[in-house]
Amino acid sequence: MLISLESIREAAARIAPRLHRTPMLSSRTLGDAAGVALQLKCESFQKTGSFKPRGALNIILSLTPERRAKGLVSVSAGNHAGAVAWAAREAGVPCTVVMPSDAPRSKMDAVRGYGATIIAHEDRATLFDRLREEEARSGAFFVHPFDDLTGLAGAGTTGLEILEQAPQTDVVVVAIGGGGLMAGVACAIKALRPQCKVVGVELEAGPGMTPALAAGKSVPVPRPRTLADGLTPPFVGAHPLQVARECVDEIVLVTEDEIMHAMRMLLLRAKLYVEGSGAAATAALLAGKVKSVAPGSRVVSIVSGGNVDPERLLALFSTSGGAA
């Protein structure tokens, strides 16, 4: 496979001393609603509130001390920014992150809180162009949010933990933004339990992987206004695209309303504070979108992050049901 089981296990050994082994929680209510035996892999409880430090820390710790000393630079609308900023602080190196000016306030506050410098950029479509300018100017190492094999191996440690905690899992459902989490998890799952199905979930209003698979290459992704900002990168990664082609059994699309319903249900029934992209996998199950799930299957839904501004979450429970 593109990401070897050995590299994922090496990543696990490298990052384990600094990261949480996140819990797997069952939810009878949500499982019954989806017609499956459901468990939730709670990456919302990871350091910085998402799965992202797994990949970012693995990349940074794999660099030579000399390379790290030149500093780090990255680009992100949120969770990856916080993860790189946190990991840079752990490694004791400077960090700059290019973020869209309209990124969620809580995520920008977290990046600053970890000691990183933010370059706010107005045009989301040219975020990577601004990143490349800063990379060239500073000579810092670019920590890619979703298309670095070392980072994907780090993300794959989520898959290792899933099969250690629930070895008889039949289906793993995972959200797809740039594709990093999906790629790492799919390679880990298929290496250890080939019969386990891997299902990817994208935002219906702005999918990236589905059109990329049709085109045979990454294509520009529409940027709708959404609570699931983690599902709207400018494109999917070339490496995740290859993994999706080889290892993913099904990709489904969810609507904004379905994501909001899943966020409500996760909060009310599972007592989990979850962001839009973190609820996407569960949304697909609750909406009956996943066709490869047989009734009663043992299913793991990855809750990939919990970084949502409180006022945006509270808006879900207003009479208007607004999404912010």
CA pair distance 218, 208, nearest whole angstrom: 8
> Which pLDDT belongs to residue 292?
87
Q: Which residues are catalytic?
A: 52, 304
> What is the distance, to the nearest Å, from the Cα of residue 288 to the centroid of all Cα atoms in its chain?
22
In tens, the pLDDT along 3-12 reads 999 999 999 9
Using a 10 angstrom Cβ sphere, with 0-12 exposed, 13-18 middle and 19 or more buried, the burial of residue 160 is: buried
Which residues in the chain are classed under CATH 3.40.50.1100? 5-12+20-50+156-315, 53-142
pLDDT at 164 over 80: yes
pLDDT at 317 over 60: yes
Sign of the CA dihedral with 279 first, then 285, 291, and 295 last = positive
pLDDT at 322 over 80: no
Is CATH 3.40.50.1100 what the domain over 53-142 is classified as, yes or no?
Answer: yes
Q: Tell me, which fold does domain 5-12+20-50+156-315 have in CATH?
A: Rossmann fold (3.40.50)
DSSP 56: H
pLDDT at 202 over 80: yes
In tens, the pLDDT along 94-103 reads 999 999 898 8
> Which pLDDT belongs to residue 320?
46
The token pair at 246 is 């080889």
